[in-house]
Copies of this chain bind each other. A is one copy, B any other.
Amino acid sequence: MADSTLDPDTAANRAGRGESRPPPRGPHKGQLTRATILEAALGLASQIGLEGLSIGALAEVTHMSKSGVFAHFGSREELQISVIREYHTRFEEEIFFPAVREPRGLPRLRSMFERWVKRVSVEVDSGCIYISGAVEFDDRPGPVRDALVAMVRTWHHALQRAILIAIEEQHLRPDTDPTQLLFEIHGLILALHHDARFMRNPGAVERAGAGFERILRDHFGPAAPAARAAPGRHAAKAR
C-alpha cells in the first residue's frame, strides 16, 4: 500500500501498474471484462458500502457467472482493494491533476478544495467511498482498511503540500500550521457530506465554501491574491 500516487511525477508510471488502464495497442478482452466488473463494483460499493461487495452480488449485476468474476478477482478482499484503487485513480483524475495545473499557492489550493466540494456534492446521491469506508472500516484491521487509510493519507499529503506551497508563495502567513489547516478544511468536507447526504439540509455547499474562505482569510499572507474582491470563479459559485 506504499503506492503513493497523487503526484504528477508518478503519473507516467501508472500505465506500468496495468490497472484498469488499456495498454497503448488496445485492450485485451480480459482487461475489458475486468474493467466492466470494476465499474459495477464501484457503483455497488458507492451505494451499499465496501462491506456490501461480494463476488455473488457482482455476478448478478454484471450477468456473469460467479466463477467468471472470481477469475478476475481472486477474493472479496482483492475486489474491495481494487475498488478503492480505482476510486482513488478517478479521484486523482477529477480533482488532483486538473488542480495542479493551476498556479502555485492559493489558486491551486482553492481549485483542489472546490473540485473536492463538487465531487462530494455529486456524490450526495451515491456516497463517498472514502468517507463511508472510514466509518465501515475504522475498527476492522486488515488490508482493506490499510488500503483505505493509505489512499486518504496520500490525498491529505497532497493537500498539505499545496498548503506549504501557498506559504512559500506568501499567499498564507509563514506561521500557518498546515496540519491544522488541513484538519479544518477536511472538517468542512465531512460536514458537507453529513449535512447534504444524511440531514438533507439545503445550502451545505455554500456553507463549506464560506467556511473555507474564512479559514483562508485568517491566514492570508502579504502576497495573497484577492480572490474575494474580484468576483472570480469561486465567488460566483459560493453565492
Contact = CB atoms under 8 A, between A and B. Distances in A.
Interface in A193-239: 194-195, 197-199, 203-204, 207-208, 210-211, 214, 218
Interface stretch (A16-24, A72-80, A184-192): A184-192
B199 A183 contact: no
A81 to B, nearest CB: 17
Contact of A127 (B131, B139, B153): B139
A136 interface: yes
Given A127-B139, A139-B47, A179-B207, A134 B198 contact: yes
A2 interface: no
Contacts of A195: 183, 186
A148 B197 CA distance: 13
Contacts of A194: 134, 186, 190
Interface residues of A, number: 37
A180 interface: yes
Interface in A125-167: 127, 131-132, 134-139, 148-149, 152-153
Contacts of A190: 187, 190-191, 194
Interface of A is mostly: helix
Contacts of A184: 187-188, 191, 207, 211, 214
Given A47-B139, A190-B190, A190-B194, A211 B199 contact: no
A207 B180 contact: yes
A152 B139 CA distance: 23
Given A180-B210, A180-B211, A127 B136 contact: no
Interface of A: 47, 127, 131-132, 134-139, 148-149, 152-153, 179-180, 183-184, 186-191, 194-195, 197-199, 203-204, 207-208, 210-211, 214, 218
Shortest 3 CB-CB contacts between residues of A and residues of B? A187-B187, A187-B191, A190-B190
